[in-house]
Amino acid sequence: MEQPQAAYLLIEGSMSMSLMCFSSLCPRQLYNEEVNDLLAPENTKLPIHESKENGIYVCGLREDIVTSPEQVLITACSCSACSWK
């Protein structure tokens, strides 16, 4: 399995510099003005909100912490399978 370069640079780069950092993955699908959560396929048609403090955001999206480039790739592959159902 090939590693995604951006994930590798972010995660492995911070580890090599002894930085403490957390990366999270929160993939979503925007289709016909509807937002669907690709980590939790049962969460569909999520509302889009806007506020001065937070800007534009979507409530109810699942967010997973990832600790390796391989984990990013595995999660991305599972999300792409959900997005075509």
Q: Is 37 exposed, middle or buried (0-12, 13-18, 19+ CB in 10 A)?
A: buried
How many domains is the chain built from?
1
Instruction: Name the pTM for this structure.
Output: 0.67
Half-sphere exposure of 82 (CA within 13 A, CB side): 18
Q: By the 8 A CB rule, do 41 and 82 touch?
A: yes
* Structural domain range at position 17: 5-83
Backbone angles phi, psi at 66, to 5 degrees: -120, 140
Q: What is the pLDDT along the chain (85 residues), one digit of tens a residue?
A: 555 677 777 777 666 666 666 778 788 888 888 899 988 888 889 999 999 998 998 988 888 888 877 888 888 777 765 554 4
